[in-house]
Amino acid sequence: MERNKIRLRKKIISPSNIDQYRDYTRLVERHERYMKLRTLYRFLIYFAITTILLVLLLVAIWRVKEEQYRKVHGPQSTVRSERQ
Amino acid sequence: MDEDEIRREYAILERSGRDPKAFSVLYEKYFNRIFNFIYRQIDDEDVTADLCSQTFLNVLNHSKRYQFRGVPVSAWFYKIASNEVNKYYRKRNRTRVFSIEEVRIRELFEQANDGWDEELIERLMNYLDELPTDMLEVLQLRFFEDKDFHEIAFILDITESGAKMRTYRALDRLRKKFNLKIKYDGTK
């Protein structure tokens, strides 16, 4: 079982003491930084996905063209190009 | 807090997604409560300040996610704060601390002054030391944060009957062991 430690406090932490940790401006700044990073991160993800799709598309086009070329020039044309 | 007020606060939270400045109303209103809630589980002002700031940052960063589920906006804050505290202990693998104000303990038990001595307090502390974390969490929310069982269930991700059962079990043991009269039995 998880162990806990109970401490008894004589003093209640005062609201004025808590106030020194209250910083709304910094919170908003951190939030804006987070939003910028999130936008950048999303952009990178979309960019990566688009690049991958584009590469796949180019490979598919190249293979179709290769196939068509083989049909027109016969199987030897590929062999000849491989020897070269 | 009536439903209109709760919905108004959700509207502010929703607006915060587009305009972060709108969030200041909720931040000012709940900062002290959340700070105290975290402080009772950490007992270190600087760490509490960090976790409290992280809690509000998480709320603001994901303000569009929080939908009305029959609990006030503050319940979401407590839930996130509770998760931050759990994360803190998980990362550091430390013994969990519950720091309780003596005044609040005295308020909790309607105890005559003559029967309230140092020895009783020490025995009570030893007893609380042995309670499992989930029971202490429920007791903290019920008696120090004045949350009803519906909210406690939401904050701790348990059922309402589970929250009631944990509270009654802990209180029952307290009554039997210390012969104390407890101020609130919590029927809300």
Q: How many Cβ atoms from other residues are within 10 Å of residue B101's Cβ?
A: 18
Least confident of A21-25, B33-37, B41-45, B67-71: B67-71
Cβ partners under 8 Å of residue A80, min gap 6? none
Cα separation, B20 vs A35, whole angstroms: 11
What is the overall mean pLDDT for chain B?
85
Contact B31 A35 (CB under 8 A): no
pTM above 0.90, yes or no: no
Token duo for residue B178: 């210390």
Chains A, B: CB contacts within 8 A come to 93
Helix (H, G, I), strand (E, B) or coil at B132: coil
Cα separation, B4 vs B11, whole angstroms: 10
Looking at residue B146, its pLDDT comes to: 86
B116-155 residue pLDDT tens: 667 777 888 888 888 888 888 888 898 888 898 999 999 9
- Which residue of chain A is at minimal alpha-carbon distance from B101? A9
Contact of B12 with B22, CB cutoff 8 Å: yes
A14-69 residue pLDDT tens: 888 899 999 999 999 999 999 999 999 999 999 999 999 999 999 999 999 999 98
Cα separation, B36 vs B100, whole angstroms: 10
Query: If interface means Cβ-Cβ distance under 8 Å, which residues of chain B face chain A?
Result: 20-21, 23-24, 27-28, 31-32, 35-36, 39, 43, 45, 48-49, 52-53, 56-57, 60-61, 95-105, 121, 125, 128-129, 131-133, 136
Q: What amino acid occupies position B128?
A: L
Beta strands in A2-63 (DSSP E): 4-9
- Which of A8, A10, A34 is facing B61, going by the closest CB pair? A34
Q: How far is CA B146 from CA A51, B21, B188, in A?
A: 54, 29, 10
